[in-house]
Amino acid sequence: MSLFEAKNVTKQFGSFTALDNVSISVPEQCIYGLLGPNGAGKTTLIRIINQITGPDSGELFLNEKKLMPEDVMTIGYLPEERGLYRKMKVGEEALYFAQLKGLSKSEAMKRLKYWFKKLDMVDWWNKKVEELSKGMQQKVQFITTILHEPKLIIFDEPFTGFDPVNANTIKNEILFLRERGATIIFSTHNMASVEELCDNITLINKGKTILEGRVDEIRNKWAGSEYELVFLGDVKLRENGHFKVLSQTFENGKSSIRLVAVSKLSTNEILNDAMNSGKIISFNPALPSMNEIFIRVVESRN
Amino acid sequence: MNKVSVIIKREYLTRVRKKSFLIMTILAPLLMASLIVVMPLMMVSGSKDHKKIAVIEEGSNIFKNVIPNTKDEDFVYLTDVNKNDLLKTFDADGYYGILYIVPEAINAPVLFSKNQPAIGLIEHISSSLEKEIEKKKLQEYNIENLDSILKQIRTNVNLKTNIVDESGGTTQTSTGISMALAYIGGFLMYMLVFMFGAQVMRGVIEEKVSRVVEVVVSSVKPIQLMMGKIIGVALVGLTQFMIWVILTMGAVAILKTTVLKKTDMTEITQNMTQSIMTENQTPAPASATQANAMSPEMQEFSRLFDNAMNQNWPLIILSFIFYFITGYLLYASVFAAIGSAVDNETETQQFMLPVTIPIILGLVVAMGTMQNPESPLAFWFSLIPFTSPIVMMARIPFGVPAWQLIVSMSLMVVTFLVFVWMAAKVYRTGILMYGKKASWKEIWKWLRYSG
């Protein structure tokens, strides 16, 4: 069952088409990657989901019911370009955003205390926002995004501005939120985090969907012509008509070589060539990284 | 609707808690109060710097003791002094200046002084000399009992104005009071609309620049955010205004009992009485004898006070509130739209001019209105919604026909509704647009975007 669904969404700004017949279906309790190069239309789609702007045509469903204005209460949104009122005190500001999401003051207070304690921010309550570092401000904003316990949370580049320790804290919180039943739409350019976190993805380019599905299925589908060969010792493999070398590394007395076969039938030829080059430890089909898939798919479309 | 009140509360509290709000709120009434108290004080008791003026008449003494002393100036008639000698020493001798009269050129006396003399002094001297010359000329006709005839002729005209209402009843009014009220009403309207309208704009820009706006509009509709801000700032304005009124009244009362008491009111009164008596050498007309118990300036004051009370205060106050709210809403929504269209405050300039022109035009016309409240110019500009809040406030103290008021107010309501609606459309698109240099053409396009 999908928690959120967009069907045939189109949005134009004047003569510019930001979204052209885009559909996505986000299963419940999954982390859904929304990928695409800059200016692809991701932010427009996110704004439509948040009902900041409306689509020109197309339909949106939450829990299989038409998306209604009051549904903003069950959606949490952390925009990429984020900011807080700089002159306000941290606690007051967090309370303000919680109240805008419909929480009562006392309920918001209770939950804020829990989160400030959990993320080790209790001392910040009476500080002004402008006194905090950028990473600290991001943490405040993260809390304001999830405080009303939304069913659907949209994170746009949630890790920028965090040091590795805090990025890890936030990552664990995101996984924890999913465990507790939240569904997450996750927009990013960081493909390593996509592989790590996302169950499903949609790749948008120039306002159109060009790739979608489960991450593991996509990677398997794009695999097949790529292999990883490991030799004992420092071995250099020369390219020939059967394969192309993608990368070669030598580490701990082993050489790892990634190569791509020219055709499905050439694996035996590759092994023949390899056997003559040195001692083989392993030969496996390699799953392409999301990064590679991203680049290849987008470039083939341009 | 509950969310709008959350926004209003934040907009209101953050502004009211600012130090600048506190400082403005305290300083403004102090300045106002000192103006109200110190200005008349200076006018009445400014005689600390008493001037002595030497009068030298070449070869005759027709004008001896003709020029009466005033509260600020004493005229000393010198007979045995050479003008050229005194010119070198008059400053050191303690004279402010020398009035030099030559009988051959009786209508062209000369006043020598170190500084440019005040206009009041010049008028005092001229009119005293003119009166004396006229008297002398009349005497040449050898009329019997000239003095008593002259006394009989001299009349003081004190024109009182009365406004007639529909039922034929009359109310005594004062053009001076009406002008003062017109000036205060028009100028205050201009200041409040402009000041708080610009505050709305700065607030919108702050939200856009700090990127808060995207989070906020994912929780509330852009129009809710815009209206929350506009209403919040309006409440700040009303709060400040109310505090000003109360503090000004308090400060005036305190200053009256402290500063004014010390400078001895009776002395001031005497000075004034003297100067009034000497200026109008003849006693007041017989009809005024019953009021003789009151000193003249108290009489004048109570008359002005009565006239001020005769103004239609409920109408003035209610119209002020009406025009402030509608005028502010009209301009604040335009300011909000401008704020949403730009990326920083310097970019606002190209949009500010077309907005500022009608406000300033309104103020200029309002000032002209005081000279002629029923001119076609005043009439039209008090109906046109962009200028009507200011111009109408300047017209009301002089009396405005009910139908004009109704037309002006209806136009105002229609216009502000249209403008709030248009501003909301521009605002909705503008707040999410970054990096694009906004132009009028671009804004026109935003106006026509759907959803």
Predicted pLDDT at B279: 46
The stretch A268-286 carries a mean pLDDT of 83
Q: How close, in Å, is residue B210 to chain A by CA atoms?
A: 5
The structural domains of chain B, with segments of one domain joined by +, span: 51-142, 169-231+312-448
Name which of B7, B217, B445 is nearest A52 (Cβ-Cβ): B217
Q: Hey, are the CB atoms on A100 and B220 less than 8 Å from each other?
A: yes
CB nearest to A88's CB, from B14, B222, B451: B14
Interface test with B, best of A70, A87, A100 (most B CBs within 10 A): A100
Report the gap between the CA of A106 and the closest CA in chain B (Å). Answer: 14
The residue-averaged pLDDT of A12-27 equals 88
The residue in chain B having the minimum alpha-carbon distance to the alpha carbon of residue A130 is: B210
State the average pLDDT for chain A: 88
For residue B326, the distance in angstroms to the closest alpha carbon of chain A comes to 28
Percent of chain B with pLDDT over 70: 78
| pLDDT tens column, B171-219 | 666 677 777 778 878 888 888 888 899 899 999 998 988 888 888 988 8
Element (H, E) at B403: helix B402-430
Closest alpha carbon within chain A to B228: A100
pLDDT at A9 over 90: yes
Chain A residue whose CA is closest to B209: A83
Q: Which of A218-232, B141-155, B156-170, B314-328 is most confident? A: B314-328
Tell which phi-psi region holds residue B441, choosing left (phi > 0), alpha (psi between -120 and 50) or beta.
Answer: alpha
Residue of A13, A50, A85 with shortest CB distance to B210: A85
Mean predicted confidence (pLDDT) in B278-307: 52
Q: What is the pLDDT of residue A268?
A: 80
**Could you tell me which chain A residue has the CA closest to the CA of B3?**
A100
Model confidence at B288, in pLDDT bands (50, 70, 90)? very low
pLDDT of residue B264: 47
ipTM score: 0.76
Contacts of B450 in chain A (CB under 8 A): 54, 56
CA distances from B149 to A234, B138, B287, B427 (A): 136, 11, 19, 78
pLDDT at B276 over 60: no
Q: Is B167 on the interface with A (CB under 8 A)?
A: no
**Residue found by looking up tokens 């549904």 in the block:** A71
| pLDDT of B21 | 87
pLDDT for B103: 77
Residues of chain A by 3-state class (helix, strand, coil), percent to 5: 35, 30, 30
- Cβ within 8 Å, pair B14-A13: no
Q: What is the predicted pLDDT for the residue at B287?
A: 41
Confidence of residue B306 (pLDDT cuts 50, 70, 90): low
CA distance B25 to chain A (A): 21
**CA dist., res. A175 & res. A181, Å (int):** 10
Q: With 50 as the cut, is the pLDDT of residue A101 above it? A: yes
Three-state DSSP class for residue B42: helix
Q: Give how far B314 is from chain A: nearest CA, Å.
A: 40
A108, A98 Cβ separation under 8 angstroms: yes
Q: Tell me, what's the pLDDT at A300?
A: 83
pLDDT of residue A2: 86
Highest mean pLDDT among B6-15, B215-224, B242-251, B265-274: B6-15
Instruction: Look at residue A47 and tell me whether its pLDDT is greater than 50.
Output: yes
The pLDDT value recorded for residue A106 is 93
Calpha distance A261→A268 (Å, rounded): 10
Query: Which of A260-269, B186-195, B222-231 shows the lowest per-residue confidence on average (mean pLDDT)?
Result: A260-269
Choose, out of A50, A52, A67, the residue to mutate when testing the contact with B (most B CBs < 10 Å).
A52
Choose the mutation target among A60, A81, A140 for the interface with B, i.e. most B CBs under 10 Å.
A81
Q: Which residue in B212, B221, B450 is closest to A84 by CB distance?
A: B212
CA distance B241 to chain A (A): 25
Report the residue from A52, A97, A144 with minimal CB separation from B432: A52
Q: What is the mean pLDDT of residues B368-381?
A: 83
Residue B166: what pLDDT?
Answer: 63
Return the CATH number of the domain spanning residue range B51-142. Answer: 3.40.190.10
Q: Do A52 and B211 touch (CB under 8 A)?
A: no
Distance CA B215, CA A83 (A): 8
Identify each DSSP E strand in chain A by its residue range.
2-13, 16-27, 31-35, 57-62, 65-66, 75-78, 152-156, 183-187, 200-205, 208-214, 226-232, 243-251, 254-261, 279-285
B217: contact with A, CB 8 A cutoff: yes
Residues 6 or more apart in contact with residue A156 via CB below 8 angstroms: A42, A43, A46, A77, A78, A79, A80, A187, A188
CA distance A196 to A178: 14
Q: Kindly report which listed range (A195-204, B192-201, B264-273, B317-326) carries the lowest average pLDDT score.
A: B264-273
Q: What is the pLDDT of residue B259?
A: 55
Which range is least confidently modeled, A94-103, B172-181, B290-299, B360-369? Answer: B290-299
3 state SS of A53 = coil
Indicate whether B289 pLDDT > 50.
no
Residue A217 has pLDDT above 60, yes or no: yes
- Whether the CB-CB separation of B185 and B397 falls below 8 Å is answered with yes
pLDDT band at A147 (very low <50, low <70, confident <90, very high): very high
> Do the chains contact at B211 and A85, CB–CB below 8 Å?
no
Across the range A244-259, mean pLDDT stands at 85
The pLDDT score that the predictor gives to residue B366 is: 86
In this structure, the number of other CB atoms found within 10 A of the CB of residue B241 comes to: 17
Closest Cα in chain A to B223: A52
Q: How confident is the model at residue B230 (pLDDT cuts 50, 70, 90)?
A: very high
Under the banding of pLDDT at 50, 70 and 90, the label for residue A8 is very high
Lowest mean pLDDT among A107-121, B60-74, B339-353: B60-74
Q: What is the pLDDT of residue B284?
A: 42
Q: Between chain A and chain B, how many beta carbons pairs sit less than 8 Å apart?
A: 65
Output the pLDDT for position B63. 79
Q: How far is B239 from chain A (nearest CA, A)?
A: 21
Integer Cα distance of A139 and A93 in angstroms: 13
* Tokens 């402008």 sit on residue: A130
pLDDT confidence band for B292 (50 / 70 / 90): very low
Nearest neighbour of B218 by CB, restricted to A52, A81, A96: A52
Chain B residues with CB inside 8 Å of A79's CB?
Answer: 211, 214-215, 218
pLDDT of res. B33: 66
CB-based contact B210 A79, cutoff 8 Å? no
Q: What is the mean pLDDT of chain B?
A: 79
The answer to whether B212 contacts chain A (CB < 8 Å) is yes
Any A CB within 8 A of B50 CB: no
Specify whether the CB–CB gap between B329 and B415 falls below 8 A. Answer: no
Subunit contact A88:B7, Cβ cutoff 8 A: no
pLDDT above 90 coverage of chain B, percent = 13
| Interchain CB distance below 8 Å, B449 and A56 | no
At B59, the amino acid letter reads G
The beta-carbon neighbor of A100 closest among B3, B207, B222 is: B3
Q: Write down the pLDDT at residue A33.
A: 92
Given A47, A52, A83, which is nearest B211 (Cβ)?
A83
In tens, the pLDDT along A162-198 reads 888 888 989 999 999 999 999 999 998 888 888 889 9
Q: Calculate mean pLDDT across residues A202-208.
A: 90
